Amino acid sequence: MHFVEVAIQNVRGFSPAGRFPLKTGYLILKPPTADVLPLGSLALSLLFADGRGGDSSLVGSAGRSGKAALTFVGQDGMTYRVLRELGGSGSLHRLNPATSQPELVSTDTSEINQYLRGQAGLPPRTTFEQVYCLQLVMLPSRRPRKSAPKAAAAAGAKASGATPSLAAATQVQPAEDVPAAEAKVKVLEKELVTARAVDQLQFKVDELSSLIFEADSKLKGGEGLKAAIAEAEAAWRAAPSPESLGLPLDILSRVKRYPKAVARRDEALARLETDRDPELEDVSLKVPPLTKNRVFWGGLGAGVLFMGLSVGLGIVAAQPLWRYLALINIPAFGTAGWMALRYVDDLQHATRKGSKDNRKDARQKKILDEFELEDAPVRMAIKALNLESYEEIPGALEQKDLLGMRLGELQTQLEEYEASAEYQGAIRDGQELRAQQEELNAELSAKGTYVRDLREVERELSRLKESIALAKAPPVQVAAAPGQAPVPVDPLEDPSPLVLSQAADVLTSDMLSVQALMKDRCVQYLTALTDRRYQGVEWDREGNAFLLTQNSRIPVGELSPKDIDLYYLALRLTVVEKTCARVKRPFLLDDVLTGVDEAKLPLVARMLKHLGTLTQVLHVTAHPGFGQMSDGTVNV
């Protein structure tokens, strides 16, 4: 998991508006002013919204609305974007990998929180705050010291089921006006009762939201079937059919008959050609021209010759007998005429042969026309289906029937699933749980539109009681060990139990196993940060810490504020390093190193640089030395 981008508009500590990309590694975020940049508070407000407007304190300029959005990659590899109007509503979007477009997941605060826990892999708010966020107010030196009022507040928090946070606003000072402070204590105690009631109601609402989410998850078991039905129905509607392509309804039977139609056509044409061959040979014998007929020319020449002889000899010889030679003209001219008549008869016979050939052509055309009635729909189907052969037509048209059968099977499965006892039970449970949730929301609304968080009220009440106690009886200073600053009688609170317990939750292990895992690395960080003034660390079964020197074993709460802060920093760096080896989550580090010696800052920068190789580290600081060691700098 890592953050990709943060976008803000009128958010306290940031620029007036902007979008800031965040890459992996060790990244420095430079604030625009000297004001504290509440990166951790903003991330907690976006990822773990309470739905009661508690994030309105992050708005920059008064009278204007503030907006913030956080884009991150979840443990499931999906990209999410949380958008929220500070003090108002919000929404969760998920990036669709197929279309690269954001899709709305939900606008309900409870549903968003459950989705981020169940799908994106976010830990509980307390775990994220105490393990992956390090804010200035979390330092032990900034928390009130242990005293009777503090013990009472801690007992009340334990009784209410809430885990007290390490955060505190400022170091407690004696109250200047004790009567006014005591009057305010009474007001805060009333507010504490209301806040505790609201917190219990909110706990029940969150529990119901979790149960509703589980019921909805059961109901969403059929979403896959519904999506498959939608896809199958779309494929069935898009599948080709004779009606959609404008083909005859009996196209499949035509395709089955098509090979026989082709064979029938080929057989008829072959038979027609066989019957036509002798006639083609007769027709191919051309009638010779009359001018090439020797008999015709012989008879015609003989007739002319004998006619000439009869006329010529009759005149020269003056004898009428020669005139009888003209009678020979009759058979001669008759032979020529007979040849001419025969030629005419041959021409008529050839003409009759040509008429018979025309009838053959008409018969061939009829055969082809009959075949065209069968061939045209098949060719149209091949073209409409974009196929290579008519043999592929049945397979292409049968897809619609197969898809229809698949659609029917899916619809039957969905009906059986929705009729199952588990599905019907989930519907009833969801309705009952939503009714209970509405009743609790009505009770929450009756308590007030805005009620401060229980832990915030407890912290303020604890600080106020302690300030009254300090004003009435200032603590007595005792002598400290040589080389150490004077230590107050009341010790500081040991942060170890809460941090180690949250690390145990992340690592799904017990306290003793986590202590054994953390010990060596924590000692390395501690000895480096304290110049080897402490050589070891030990924890008891409850997680209370003791630092070891050459001659003593000191409880952490009795350390000087400076040393306990260094121990706390070493412990937090160790927890982040060990937990990120199991599950990677970004480490948000506010500007908490203001009290650290300047000479140690390069060492801390190298430590954070090392953490940047394991997970994303976002460090808010304006110090130029850290920027030189980082993987990048973003001016926010």
Beta bridge partners of 5: 21, 71
The DSSP letter of residue 142 is G
Q: Which residue segment(s) compose the domain that 536 sits in?
A: 494-584
Please indicate, yes or no, if residue 155 is contained in any of the structural domains: no
Q: How far apart are CA 129 and CA 138, in angstroms?
A: 10
Q: Are residues 383 and 500 in the same domain?
A: no
> Is the overall model pTM greater than 0.85, yes or no?
no
Least confident stretch, 34-43, 226-235, 488-497: 488-497
> In the structure, what pLDDT confidence band is assigned to residue 150 with cuts at 50, 70 and 90?
very low
Please indicate, yes or no, if residue 174 is contained in any of the structural domains: no
Q: Are residues 382 and 249 in the same domain?
A: yes
Q: What is the CATH number of the domain that holds 504?
A: 3.40.50.300
Q: How far apart are CA 465 and CA 175, in angstroms?
A: 9
Residue with tokens 């300029």: 61
Alpha-carbon torsion angle 17, 21, 24, 29, nearest 10: -30
Q: What is the pLDDT of residues 276-318, one digit of tens each?
A: 555 444 444 567 787 787 888 887 888 788 777 777 766 665 5
Is the CB of residue 11 less than 8 Å from the CB of residue 42? yes
Please indicate, yes or no, if residue 568 is contained in any of the structural domains: yes
The kind and range of the H/E element at 464 are helix 454-472
Task: Say whether pLDDT at 149 is over 70.
Answer: no
Higher-confidence residue of 57 and 453: namely 57
Please indicate, yes or no, if residue 254 is contained in any of the structural domains: yes
Please indicate, yes or no, if residue 463 is contained in any of the structural domains: no
- pLDDT of 153 reads 43
Q: What is the pLDDT of residues 427-476, one digit of tens each?
A: 888 888 888 888 887 877 776 655 666 666 777 777 778 778 777 764 44
Give the residue from 82, 101, 123 where a domain finishes.
123
- pLDDT of 80 reads 92
Please indicate, yes or no, if residue 396 is contained in any of the structural domains: no
Residues 6+ apart with CB under 8 A from 395: none
Query: How many independent structural domains does the chain possess?
Result: 3
- pLDDT of 294 reads 81
Residues 6+ apart with CB under 8 A from 82: 46, 47, 69, 70, 72, 90, 91, 92, 112, 116
Is the CB of residue 136 less than 8 Å from the CB of residue 142? yes
